[in-house]
Amino acid sequence: MNTRVFTSPLFLGFDHLEQMIERAAKNSSDGYPPYNIEQLSPISLRITLAVAGFTMDDLQITLEDNQLVIRGRQTEDGNGRVFLHRGIAARQFQRAFVIAEGIEVKGAWLDNGLLHVDLVRPVPQPVVKTIPISKGQTKAPAGANRMVDGGTSTDY
């Protein structure tokens, strides 16, 4: 079901936000693997997933269109083992997190069955641009257009 959130004409250009909300809702339905999100400092976060039984070769982390995607797929080692009871499933997963603009993935590591992914939001440097003011210019800069009677545009 596709519910339109930004239907007012005042919200033109917010389609990407609507798509992010839909992706987040779609990805939150499965609870495996469980995860934590901690704020380590005002600019850094850590996502921790419980991935017991997965090796580094079984895991993949990608960043796709502001979406952090973590996939796990265990390889079946058939080594002739016969299970009388198999309670530990070799289950694959995909967990996705929508990442805000400007967030950077700093690194990831696997430790004791926990996959840690560190994120940081760099403090933006203020950008101040000075616009020069010229004296006595009667002609507009090249490429500037103006409307003349009749609705056509011409260069100055």
- Average pLDDT (131-149) is 69
Considering only CA atoms, which of 112, 74, 113, 73 is closest in space to residue 95? 73
Q: Give domain limits for the chain.
A: 1-30, 32-76+84-123
Which CATH class name applies to 32-76+84-123? mainly beta
**Per-residue pLDDT tens over the stretch 19-32:** 666 665 565 556 88
- Min mean pLDDT across 3-7, 122-126, 148-152 is at 148-152
**Per-residue pLDDT tens over the stretch 37-58:** 999 999 999 999 999 989 999 9
- Do 61 and 73 meet the contact criterion of CB atoms below 8 Å apart? no
Q: Average model confidence (pLDDT) for the chain?
A: 80
Per-residue confidence band for 5, with pLDDT thresholds at 50, 70 and 90: low
Place of tokens 């339905």: 29
- Average pLDDT (65-84) is 84
Residue 40: predicted pLDDT: 95
Which is more confidently placed, 103 or 17? 103
Q: Taking the alpha carbons of 36, 49, 101, 65 in that order, is the dihedral positive or negative?
A: negative
